[in-house]
Amino acid sequence: MSINVDQIKNDIMAATSVADVEELRVSLLGKKGQLTLAMKELSGLDPEARKEAGKQLNEQKQEVAVAIDSKKAELELIEMNAQLEKDKIDLTLPVNQGKKSGTLHPITRAMMELSAIFANMGFEMAEGPDVEDDWHNFTALNIPEWHPARDMRDSFFIEGAETILRTETSAVQVRKMEKDGAPVRIFCPGRVYRVDLDATHAPIFHQCEGLVIGDSVTMAHLIGTLQSFLKSFFEVEQAPIRMRQHHFPFTEPSIEIDVDLGNGKWMEVLGAGMVNPKVLENCGVDSSKYQGFAFGMGIDRLAMLKYGIKDLRKMSDGDVRWLRHYGYAPVEMPSKTEGLS
Amino acid sequence: MKFTLNWLKQYLDTDKTPAELADKLSLIGLEVEELIDPSETLKPFIVAEVLDAKPHPDADKLQVLSVSIGEGEPLQVVCGAPNAKKGLKGILARPGDMIPAFGEKIKKAKVRGVESCGMMCSMRELQLGQDHDGIIELDANAPVGTSAADVLKYEVVFDAEVTPNRPDYLGVKGIARDLAASGMGTMIDEQFDPVKSSIESVVSLAVADDAKEVCSYIGGIYSEIKRNPVRSGWIGDLLSAVGMNPKNFLVDVTNFMTLDSCRPMHAFDVDKLSGNLTVRQAKEGEKFVGLDGVEYTLTSADTVVADDKGVQLLSGIMGAKSSGCDENTKNVFLIAETLDPVAIRRTARRHNIQSDAKFRFERGVDPASVGYGLSKATHMMNYVCKGEVSGLVEAGAVPSDDRSISYDLKSFKQLIGIDIPSDIAVNILTVLGCDVTGTDVLTVVPPSYRQDLKEVHDITEELIRIWGYDKIVSQTLDINPVVKPVLLPAQTRLFQVKRLLASIGMNEALSWSFVSGKLEEKLIGQTGVRISNPITPDHDVLRQTGLSSLLPFVSSNQARGQLNLQLFECAPIFNGINPGDQEMVVTGVMSGESQEKSWDKREHAVDVMDAKEALFTVLDRLGLSDKVQLVTDELIPGVHPYRSARVLLGKFEIARFGEVHPMIIKDQSIKTGVAFFELFIDRIPLKAKKGTAKQELQTSAFQGVRRDFAFMADEDFKSGDLIKAVKKLNPQLITDVYLFDVYQGEKLNGKKSLAITVVMQPMDKTLTDADIELVAANVMITAEDLGLSLR
């Protein structure tokens, strides 16, 4: 029985479905298939002829099998694709619809930025309580009981106690030095409280205190430190500032620092000075060996300047529209590596 | 402290502009908060003449004026001033001009039906004085059409913030002195001839022993005056320019001295006194009616000046109504005292009195200025009043002042970081009024009016503030590489929690620490720390739960149409009145739908399980979600009793979550349910830092097995108990237990069906059927022990 391989291959090529191909496979290569039977018929030939015919038949069988497999794969893909059409969906359907994206408050962001900057200058963070006693908030800071400087800061008083809500983060200076002595290089962000409420004042706001005490820390270091802070925070090459004489009982000399808003107006952002030796002594630090500087900055004001926030009162009224607009995505991590903004 | 340019120029010869002077003052320590220079604001207003004045057809008190501004047609202006009349020359504001007193531009308008093309101004409208009885009347020869700035007399006013260390800035003379030291002009020496005494004082002075600590010295001068003018001329003008109402000439002179030289004094009408004056402590309960008309009940801690009848002056604070000078006074006794600042402050605080004198005495009035003050005031009075004047009567003694500071210029470099040349230092201190000797090591004797200069660093501050902070060449600090983290461990943990909560879609809010006591009472059944002087009645306690801050936020946001909220805050709560009684809490609130209504039905009304999910996301991060215990079904104020739980770690409550009680929701006008969580994060011990290296990963080479079980349970059964118990069976083998179905239906007759998957992962061998059956049997026994039955 002769095998017409070309005819067989044409038949395979003409198949239009996987089932057709399968049917052909059975009729050709199955138990009773044409080629299988032809193989069996070889047993009647003499050995020399059988060897020759067997070789030829095997090659033909191989050729047919390859043709079947390739046709089958081709048709399978076509059939699968036809099937996939049923999976078709409208890819313009919206996703994440109305999903709220979470945000961090601008004050949190500002604190993260401050931390990044002070980290770079070798500072550590310190903290203190919001409710303070007279010693830490006033007396140790060289504001004795009947001193008019107490009028500068209207305090909230705690009923039935000798305590108040701290009026400045300076109280943390005292706690830190009482605990660890000198040298010191810390910054302390926190809430402070003053009886004040109008368009530009809130009874609670945020300050960041800094304290550097060493054996030869001078006012030149104070100014250098604050200049590099302002440059880092506002991300500018030059930060035009002006230093004005001021009075804080806990520092002498005392200054206030204004930044140039670029419209001919100055805005006060910092108070600073050389720590009054009396404060050092009050905290158990030997003022004949150590000296240094302290500064305090209003975080709310810095944040407003940097982030374009106009109304201080909206900072703490919980308006979710404001929080979503002025808040920051948690994936943004202000750092020296990724940049502060 | 307010003062005027002309006043300043009595002591300072300067050609600087007001703005230059203000800037310099701000730099050297007297921050000028406002500079009112009317020359700018007055520019657009012009002199106008009333050509004709007719009654308004529809209003009795109005007139219709025809005014000329020198060019063009006369303008029609409706005016209500009684003094408006034909021929009057006044100041006209035209449409578009900014009226200083209103802060608004005026517009062309109809007044009762008659068109008005401007406004004739009063002094008050131009902020030049208090006069508002009528419109300004200029001299008849004032040139029509010229600017008001050229014809009106006005003062340039400075308003400055005086720091408590500088009482000398509470006198114009002291301000002039600092400006002179800063190169802004030269000091004009004051020259007046003291009035020669011609009579004896009819009043004598004494300081009682009990008052000597408070009043070290008092001086007085007696005058019999011939004239007592009704108006006090330029002195009154100066006082009103800085906002002080003129009283009568005699009182105005003493007020002038207060503002001019920071030398408060008092003038008695001698005819209203009986006998001599003694400085003494008040008697307990002694009455005193002050110039303000208020009766004060004094204590023995108050120092007074008294005559035979009683208290005539609360020392350093306020005179008595009964013996003050008025326009009928003929015989005057002028006194000045040297007083202890703290005593004055205490008395004023005790009786809650504010006065210009008190403000100065509590900061420190020049103790050596009594004689000067009496002499100058007497000179000013006598110049106008004429008459006879006594010599100085006195009691006590001017306190000695032996301050002398040895100042090594090296100490300047040591603190400031730069050198100051000796000649500059000497010059600055000298112009400030110090006696200075020496070159490298100076001996500095400060003047009596600068009691704040006591120590070396006081001198350093004087030098650098006058020389200028801009002279300092800045230096940077040495930096040692920081090994420790910059943030405290608790801070780092909190920052991470904040980022985590924001990453699951919550918005961080920030609120005040004080809240409404009423709301807090409802929320937790108690109010803790009260504020004595709350900023508003709704902020009268320090919060003990973050909900007291966040619930009002839910309410206000919902009122603005924002119903779906996911807010959190990390802030302190206050458990007591002392420092350290506070702790940090992380509070979250959720309301409305989980998100906008969406085609894929992802939205759902938020409830207690959303709050639990957020809380457990955090607890998971802190490694605690498997370690905590829940306490449920408790009646706790403020929360839904069956939808709230406390979360314990060991014995400590570290968190709670739930739904806010519907009564409170209603009470707060909240339109949806509110779920919340509150994490007392400070109560969770900080984990010791283990470094970033992790334990080596052990993976199993053997097949894991999952088996599902379904149980029937009572409706009240806590499914968490099942999961916990199964996990405990063999923690090495059972790596996870998932609850994949909860079914409750009528068919189940008050029972519910719970279905779990138990994941077994052997580490050392392949599980045989027998192994698996053993675990399954144990699971079923455990469930039975809990009262469940296999479904």
Q: Identify from B415, B451, B554 which residue to disrupt to test chain A contact, counting A C-beta atoms within 10 A and taking the largest count.
A: B415
DSSP string, A169-235: THHHHHHHHHHH-SSEEEEEEEEEE-S--BTTB-SEEEEEEEEEEESS--HHHHHHHHHHHHHHHHT
C-beta atoms of B457 and A242 within 8 A: no
Statement: residue B698 has pLDDT above 90: no
User: What are the tokens at B560?
Assistant: 């603005």
Please, which pLDDT band fits residue B84 given cuts at 50, 70 and 90? Answer: confident
Nearest to B132 by CA among B98, B102, B161: B102
End-to-end CA distance of chain B: 87
> Looking at the partner chain, which of B415, B461, B479 has a beta carbon nearest the beta carbon of A291?
B415
Percentage of chain B exceeding pLDDT 70:
99
Q: Identify from A131, A153, A178, A266 which residue to disrupt to test chain B contact, counting B C-beta atoms within 10 A and taking the largest count.
A: A131
Place of tokens 């009455």: B287
| Residue of chain B whose Cα is closest to the Cα of A257 | B27
Place of tokens 């199955």: A30
Pairing of strands A131-133, A163-165: antiparallel
Nearest to A190 by CA among A130, A230, A248: A130
Residue B316 is predicted with a pLDDT of 94
Tens digits of residue pLDDT in B214-223: 999 999 999 9
Provide the ipTM.
0.86
> Distance, in angstroms, between A123 CA and closest chain B CA?
7
Q: Is B51 helix (H, G, I), strand (E, B) or coil?
A: strand
Please, which pLDDT band fits residue B440 given cuts at 50, 70 and 90? Answer: very high
| DSSP bridge partners of B91 | B47
d(CA B286, CA B299): 7
CB B565 within 8 A of CB A193: no
The H-or-E segment that residue B720 falls in is helix B719-729
> Distance, in angstroms, between B412 CA and closest chain A CA?
10
Residue B590 is predicted with a pLDDT of 97
CB B57 within 8 A of CB B114: yes
Backbone angles phi, psi at B149, to 5 degrees: -60, -25
Percentage of chain A exceeding pLDDT 90:
56
Residue B117 is predicted with a pLDDT of 87
Q: Identify from A121, A219, A251, A315 which residue to disrupt to test chain B contact, counting B C-beta atoms within 10 A and taking the largest count.
A: A219
> Distance, in angstroms, between A169 CA and closest chain B CA?
13
Chain A interface includes B33 (CB < 8 A): no
Q: Identify the DSSP state of A64.
A: H
> Distance, in angstroms, between B445 CA and closest chain A CA?
19
C-beta atoms of A159 and B532 within 8 A: yes
Residues of A in contact with B556 (CB under 8 A): 317-319
Positions of E strands within B257-416? 266-269, 277-281, 287-289, 295-297, 303-306, 311-314, 318-319, 331-339, 387-389, 393-396, 405-408
Mean pLDDT taken over chain B: 92
| Residue of chain B whose Cα is closest to the Cα of A201 | B535
Please, which pLDDT band fits residue B428 given cuts at 50, 70 and 90? Answer: very high
C-beta atoms of A318 and B553 within 8 A: yes
Report the 10 Å Cβ neighbour count for A173. Answer: 29
| Orientation angle between helical segments A47-84 and A5-14, nearest 10 degrees | 10
Q: What is the mean pLDDT of residues A264-282?
A: 92
Residue A1 is predicted with a pLDDT of 54
CB A141 within 8 A of CB A162: no
Nearest to B118 by CA among B136, B142, B99: B99
With a CB-CB cutoff of 8 Å, which residues 510-549 of chain B face chain A? 510-514, 529-536, 539, 542
Report the 10 Å Cβ neighbour count for A44. Answer: 8
Backbone angles phi, psi at B740, to 5 degrees: -110, -5
Chain B interface includes A221 (CB < 8 A): yes
Percentage of chain A exceeding pLDDT 70:
98
Residues of A in contact with B478 (CB under 8 A): 122
Place of tokens 């004598």: B204
Statement: residue B193 has pLDDT above 90: no
Q: What is the mean pLDDT of residues A133-141?
A: 92
Measured at the CA of B783, the angle between CA B777 and CA B789, to 5 degrees, comes to: 95
Total CB pairs under 8 A between chain A and B? 276
Cis ω for the linkage preceding B44 (within 30 of 0): no
Residues of B in contact with A186 (CB under 8 A): none
Residues of B in contact with A249 (CB under 8 A): 165
Residue A152 is predicted with a pLDDT of 63
> Distance, in angstroms, between B524 CA and closest chain A CA?
20
Q: What is the mean pLDDT of residues B309-326?
A: 94
| DSSP bridge partners of A270 | A257, A297
With a CB-CB cutoff of 8 Å, which residues 82-121 of chain A face chain B? 93-94, 97-105, 107-108, 112, 115, 118-121
Statement: residue A189 has pLDDT above 90: yes
d(CA B67, CA B144): 10
d(CA A42, CA A57): 9
With a CB-CB cutoff of 8 Å, which residues 449-468 of chain B face chain A? 455, 457-458, 460-461, 464-465
Report the 10 Å Cβ neighbour count for B697. Answer: 5
CB A268 within 8 A of CB A257: yes
The Cα-based distances of A259 to A221, A263, B200, B529, B652 in angstroms read 18, 11, 61, 39, 49
CB B302 within 8 A of CB B314: yes
With a CB-CB cutoff of 8 Å, which residues 666-695 of chain B face chain A? none
User: What are the tokens at B499?
Assistant: 């980022």
> Looking at the partner chain, which of B346, B506, B603 has a beta carbon nearest the beta carbon of A146?
B346
C-beta atoms of B464 and A121 within 8 A: no
Q: What is the mean pLDDT of residues A53-78?
A: 90
Cβ-based neighbours of B702, under 8 Å, separated by 6 or more: B761, B762, B763, B764, B765, B766, B767
Chain B interface includes A137 (CB < 8 A): no
Q: What is the mean pLDDT of residues B50-60?
A: 88
Cβ-based neighbours of A97, under 8 Å, separated by 6 or more: B595, B596, B598, B599, B600, B602
Residues of A in contact with B535 (CB under 8 A): 156, 195, 197, 203
Nearest to B259 by CA among B147, B162, B170, B350: B170
Q: What is the mean pLDDT of residues B734-747?
A: 90
DSSP string, B481-548: PP-S-SS-HHHHHHHHHHHHHHHTT-EE----SEE-HHHHHHHHS---EEBSS-SSTT--EE-SSTHH
Chain A interface includes B346 (CB < 8 A): yes
Residues of A in contact with B405 (CB under 8 A): none
Chain A interface includes B501 (CB < 8 A): yes
Q: Is A69 helix (H, G, I), strand (E, B) or coil?
A: helix
With a CB-CB cutoff of 8 Å, which residues 153-192 of chain B face chain A? 163-166
CB B222 within 8 A of CB B393: yes
Cβ-based neighbours of A79, under 8 Å, separated by 6 or more: A17, A18
What's the pTM? 0.84
DSSP string, B590-649: EESBSSS--TT----B--HHHHHHHHHHHHHHTT-TTT-EEEES---TTEEEEEEEEEEE
Side chain identity at B260, as an amino acid letter?
Answer: D
φ/ψ region of B310 (left if φ > 0, alpha if ψ in -120 to 50, else beta) reads left
DSSP string, B333-361: EEEEEEE-HHHHHHHHHHHT---HHHHHH
Q: Identify the DSSP state of B674.
A: E
Q: What is the mean pLDDT of residues B391-401?
A: 93
Cis ω for the linkage preceding A144 (within 30 of 0): no
| Residue of chain B whose Cα is closest to the Cα of A133 | B579
Statement: residue B261 has pLDDT above 80: yes
Residues of A in contact with B514 (CB under 8 A): 156, 203
Nearest to B92 by CA among B84, A315, B180, B308: B84
Measured at the CA of B368, the angle between CA B364 and CA B372, to 5 degrees, comes to: 115
User: What are the tokens at B703?
Assistant: 């097949």
> Looking at the partner chain, which of B341, B457, B534 has a beta carbon nearest the beta carbon of A252?
B457
CB A141 within 8 A of CB A294: no
Q: What is the mean pLDDT of residues A63-73?
A: 91
Chain B interface includes A152 (CB < 8 A): yes
Chain B interface includes A237 (CB < 8 A): no
d(CA B432, CA B12): 14
Q: Is B30 helix (H, G, I), strand (E, B) or coil?
A: coil
> Distance, in angstroms, between A294 CA and closest chain B CA?
13
Cβ-based neighbours of A275, under 8 Å, separated by 6 or more: A173, A211, A213, A250, A251, A291, A292, A293, A294
Residues of A in contact with B475 (CB under 8 A): 218, 220-221, 224
Cβ-based neighbours of B67, under 8 Å, separated by 6 or more: B48, B49, B50, B51, B74, B75, B77, B92, B118, B120
d(CA B70, CA B67): 9
In terms of Cβ atoms closer than 10 Å to its own Cβ (0-12, 13-18, 19+), residue B440 is exposed
d(CA B300, CA B130): 41
> Distance, in angstroms, between B419 CA and closest chain A CA?
11
SS (H, E, C) A231-282: HHHHCCCCCCEEEEEEEECCEEEEEEEEEECCCCCEEEEEEEEEECHHHHHH
| Residue of chain A whose Cα is closest to the Cα of B565 | A320
C-beta atoms of A219 and B415 within 8 A: yes
Tens digits of residue pLDDT in B95-148: 888 888 888 888 888 888 888 888 898 888 887 776 777 888 888 888 888 888
Residues of B in contact with A245 (CB under 8 A): 27-29, 461, 465, 469
Place of tokens 């330029």: B234
d(CA B630, CA B616): 12
Residue A278 is predicted with a pLDDT of 95
Statement: residue B418 has pLDDT above 90: yes
Measured at the CA of A160, the angle between CA A156 and CA A161, to 5 degrees, comes to: 70
C-beta atoms of A246 and B418 within 8 A: no
Side chain identity at B264, as an amino acid letter?
Answer: P
Residue B215 is predicted with a pLDDT of 95
> Looking at the partner chain, which of B472, B491, B509 has a beta carbon nearest the beta carbon of A219?
B472
Tens digits of residue pLDDT in B469-522: 999 999 998 887 666 778 888 888 999 999 999 999 999 999 999 999 999 999
Q: What is the mean pLDDT of residues B201-212?
A: 95
d(CA B386, CA B376): 14
End-to-end CA distance of chain A: 85
